[in-house]
Every structure is written in structure tokens, then in C-alpha cells.
């Protein structure tokens, strides 16, 4: 039924390839392309062993629009899934426009030389996608992604109006390394070291990086310190959830992670400005990435659970209501199923489901969409079937 081109053979791309292969009635043909063909070969082999399916592979530099256009013309997909890095978003959207193919990603565009992510650049593609009758689905991972769908689902079924959303993301996984990031270290550290920001009464309020925290009792994990951070779904949810007065995002970090991060920051290793080293320019954060464990290598070592969800307050039938929607995911179970840890898994499964929604016509539209703008029900149903079941708790 659907022929898809997956770009980016990293931790998330691998999960997406495996999960698409598990649903042959929707994903009849799968091609995985990345800069390093050897990574695609490894995933191709694993998909064959685990699902019995053959996927095609190709080499592409997604920053080279002409190269991607040539690959799209050869593969003829109905959808391009961008699981490379946020730096590639605009180049891949350009290639999709040129070839008349729908687009999906899991992270919004970020310029390589500035630690600033926002939807502005991708929302500017609205008219071009609309005019061509194409659909671009932005942020179809977990957060952003499932957290946006949880918000839309709560707005549809639990509230007349949602007044506050707190997105809480806990990773209680232990990989045994003194310091490692669960997804691309460069993207992760840029995000964590940025100033915090939340939205209240129509205004953005900034905080010092990781300076605001709360203890939250996460289901199946227990109490953990969660730190206020800026996260990209806040931007679209503040715009799209009607009646919202406040939205914040919180993520847990262990004291050990924070200690390492502080030292690395203090010595300048997290900087993104080039420095001269032995006659050539290097970017400290990129050098640090080369030293840190590859997130894809953490899979076999990581034990424990993740828990991501939304605590939402508002009114229903004139009465106040507080609802928590969340998922708990187990690192070792993910590894057994697809050979990846839970961070890649919780991102890759929603990317596959987003693609499924588009290919089966459940989610159709012309233009650029954030997840909360589409009907949450079919997506929520598929989460339960494809490895990310959710729970709803009424809170006092």
C-alpha cells in the first residue's frame, strides 16, 4: 500500500525501519537511506532477522537537495520520513516539494550555528505545501509528538477547556556509563544547556538553565527531580490549544548527569563556536560528541523505565478537573523487540504511526501540520497496538 523512504540510519531511524517492517499491510516497500551505508546495512540485516522482511538501502547526503531529489525519483515513495537531524529538515522539505512527496519529521529545524530551535522556519513552508497539495507532519515523535496528541485527546474527551499543561519526561534508565546521552549528544546537550522557558498568560517567561525543579512521583519509577526546560511542542501547543493559560515542560536528570554536564560546560566543552586547535578549527561540542558513547550502542546495556506524560488541568461541565495521561516504557523490552533502547523506541514508534495515519488517509491535509491539529483518536488507538500503551489517571 505505502512505499516509504526513511532518511537517517541512527537510533530512531533503526526503530522506524523495524516498526514499519512489522506492518506490511501499510508499509509495502521500505527504503532506508543515510550518509553512511554501513549503518543502513546493519539495520537491513537486523530487520530481516527480526521480521523476515527485505528493506532497500541507499546512500544519501540529505543536505544536498539534488542528491535527495535524485533518490526520491528513483525510489518513488509516497512519503519521506526524516529521521536524520534537525539540521536537515529544510533541505528535506525542499526535496519533497520539488518531487511532490509528503513529509514527516520528529524534531523542528535548528540552524547548525545557533542553539535555537523553533517552528518559524518550517511554518513558513505552509503555503508551498498547500499550493502543491502536499502534507508535512511536524514532530511525530514522543515529545514532541505523542505529548501533542495527548493534549488534543484530553481537549476532545476530558475537558471543555484546558487551562494548564505540564509535560513530564522521566528517564530512569541506567546504561552503566559515567556520562552518555540517550539520543544524539550534540542535539541533546544543546537542548539541555539552553535557557528554560515556559508560556503563561500569553507570554514567554525565561529561566536560567535547569534552575527550576519539582519532585514528581512517576508511575512505576517513583519520585524524581524534574527540571523546567524549553521544549519545542510548547510553541505549537500554546498556539493551538484553545483556552490554555500555562504550559511547561519538565525533564528528569540524575545528579550524576548534572555534575558531568556542569564540568563540561565550565571547561567550554559544550560550546558551539569554533576554536583553533593545532592549526585547525574545531567545534567543542562536536568533539565531545565524538568522545561520548554512540546512543545506538546503549541499547544492550540500558535497564529501567521511561515515563512520559501530560498533567492537565481545566474545566469540564463547570467543574475543575485534573487528568494525567502517560506511557511507561521499558528499555530492556524495547531492546528485545527491535534492538534499541526506549528513547529511540518511544520516538520511532510514533513516527511509524504518524506515517501510518498519513498513508491510510486517517490524517490528510494540505500544508504543514503539528500533531495536535489532527484527530487524536486513531493515533491513540494505534499507540496501544504498537508498543506504547497509555493510561489515564484522574488526579484530585
Q: Which residues bind ligand NDP (CB under 6 A)?
A: 7-13, 34-36, 39, 60-63, 83-86, 88, 106-107, 139, 141-145, 183-184, 187, 295-296, 343-344, 347
Dihedrals φ, ψ of 5, to 5°?
-115, 115
Closest to ligand NDP by CB, 141 vs 314, is 141
**CB 181 to ligand NDP: min, Å:** 9
- Characterize 176-196 residue by residue with b for buried, 16 or more Cβ atoms within 10 angstroms of its Cβ, and e for exposed: eeebbbbbbbbbbbbbbbbeb
- Are β-strands 391-395 and 319-330 bridged in parallel, bridged antiparallel, or unpaired? antiparallel
Cβ closest to ligand NDP, residue 9 vs residue 357? 9
Beta carbon of residue 374, minimum distance to ligand NDP (angstroms, whole number): 16
Question: Are 9 and 184 in contact, with CB atoms under 8 Å apart?
Answer: no
- Judged by CB, which is closer to ligand NDP: 51, or 88? 88
Position closest to ligand NDP via CB: 10
CB-nearer residue toward ligand NDP: 143 or 166:
143
**Phi and psi (nearest 5°) for 50?**
-85, -30
Question: Of 74, 63, 83, 97, which is closest to residue 13 (Cα–Cα)?
Answer: 83
Strand residue runs (E) in 128-263: 135-138, 161-171, 196-200, 203-207, 213-218, 222-229, 246-252
Place of cell 531529489: 69
Residue 361: partners with Cβ closer than 8 Å, 6 or more residues away: none
Minimum gap (Å) between residue 166 Cβ and ligand NDP: 17
Q: Minimum CB separation from ligand NDP for residue 336, in Å? A: 19
CB of 318 to ligand NDP, least distance (A): 35
Grid cell, residue 216, equals 514528581
Smallest gap from Cβ 347 to ligand NDP, in A, equals 4
Closest approach, Cβ 137 to ligand NDP, in A, equals 12
Closest to ligand NDP by CB, 234 or 321:
234
CB of 394 to ligand NDP, least distance (A): 26
**Whose CA is closest to 298, among 176, 133, 147?**
176
Q: Given the complex with ligand NDP, which of 88 and 159 has the nearer CB atom?
A: 88
Tell me the C-alpha distance between 88 and 145, whole Å.
19
- Cell readout for 226 is 524534574
Cis bond upstream, residue 144 (ω within 30):
yes
**Which is closer to ligand NDP, CB of 35 or CB of 386?**
35
Q: Which of 355, 309, 304 is nearest to 334 (CA)?
A: 304
Residue 145 or 314 having the CB closest to ligand NDP? 145
Amino acid at each position: 500500500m505505502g512505499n516509504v523512504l526513511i532518511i537517517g540510519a541512527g537510533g530512531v531511524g533503526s526503530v522506524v525501519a523495524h516498526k514499519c517492517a512489522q506492518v506490511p499491510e501499510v508499509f509495502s516497500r521500505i527504503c532506508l537511506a543515510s550518509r553512511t551505508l554501513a549503518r543502513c546495512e546493519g539495520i537491513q540485516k537486523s530487520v530481516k532477522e527480526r521480521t523476515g522482511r527485505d528493506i532497500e538501502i541507499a546512500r544519501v547526503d540529505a543536505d544536498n537537495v539534488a542528491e535527495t531529489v535524485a533518490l526520491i525519483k528513483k525510489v518513488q515513495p509516497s512519503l519521506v520520513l526524516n529521521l536524520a537531524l534537525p539540521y536537515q529538515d529544510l533541505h528535506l522539505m525542499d526535496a519533497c516539494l520539488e518531487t511532490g512527496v509528503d513529509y514527516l519529521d520528529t524534531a523542528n529545524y535548528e540552524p547548525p550555528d545557533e542553539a535555537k530551535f523553533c517552528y518559524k522556519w518550517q511554518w513558513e513552508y505552509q503555503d508551498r505545501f498547500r499550493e502543491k497539495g502536499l502534507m508535512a507532519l511536524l514532530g511525530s515523535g514522543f515529545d514532541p509528538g505523542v505529548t501533542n496528541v495527548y493534549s488534543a485527546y484530553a481537549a476532545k474527551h476530558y475537558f471543555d477547556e484546558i487551562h494548564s499543561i505540564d509535560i513530564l519526561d522521566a528517564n530512569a534508565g541506567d546504561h552503566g556509563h559515567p556520562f552518555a546521552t540517550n539520543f544524539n549528544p550534540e542535539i541533546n546537550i544543546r537542548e539541555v544547556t539552553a535557557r528554560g522557558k515556559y508560556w503563561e498568560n500569553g507570554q514567554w517567561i525565561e529561566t536560567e538553565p535547569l534552575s527550576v525543579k519539582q519532585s514528581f512521583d512517576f508511575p512505576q519509577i517513583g519520585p524524581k527531580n524534574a527540571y523546567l526546560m524549553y521544549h519545542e511542542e510548547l510553541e505549537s501547543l500554546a498556539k493551538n490549544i484553545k483556552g490554555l493559560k500555562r504550559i511547561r515542560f519538565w525533564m528528569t536528570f540524575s545528579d550524576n548527569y548534572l555534575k558531568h554536564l556542569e564540568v563540561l560546560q565550565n571547561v567550554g566543552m559544550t560550546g558551539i563556536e569554533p576554536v583553533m586547535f593545532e592549526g585547525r578549527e574545531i567545534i567543542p561540542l562536536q568533539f565531545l560528541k565524538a568522545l561520548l558513547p554512540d546512543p545506538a550502542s546503549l541499547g544492550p546495556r540500558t535497564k529501567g523505565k521511561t515515563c512520559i506524560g501530560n498533567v492537565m488541568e481545566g474545566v469540564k461541565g463547570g467543574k475543575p478537573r485534573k487528568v494525567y495521561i502517560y506511557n511507561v516504557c521499558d528499555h530492556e523490552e524495547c531492546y528485545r523487540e527491535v534492538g534499541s533502547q526506549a528513547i529511540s523506541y518511544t520516538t520511532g514508534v510514533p513516527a511509524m504511526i504518524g506515517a501510518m495515519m498519513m498513508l491510510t488517509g486517517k490524517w490528510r491535509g494540505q500544508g504543514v501540520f503539528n500533531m495536535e491539529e489532527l484527530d487524536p483518536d486513531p493515533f491513540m488507538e494505534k499507540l496501544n497496538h504498537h508498543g506504547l500503551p497509555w493510561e489515564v489517571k484522574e488526579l484530585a
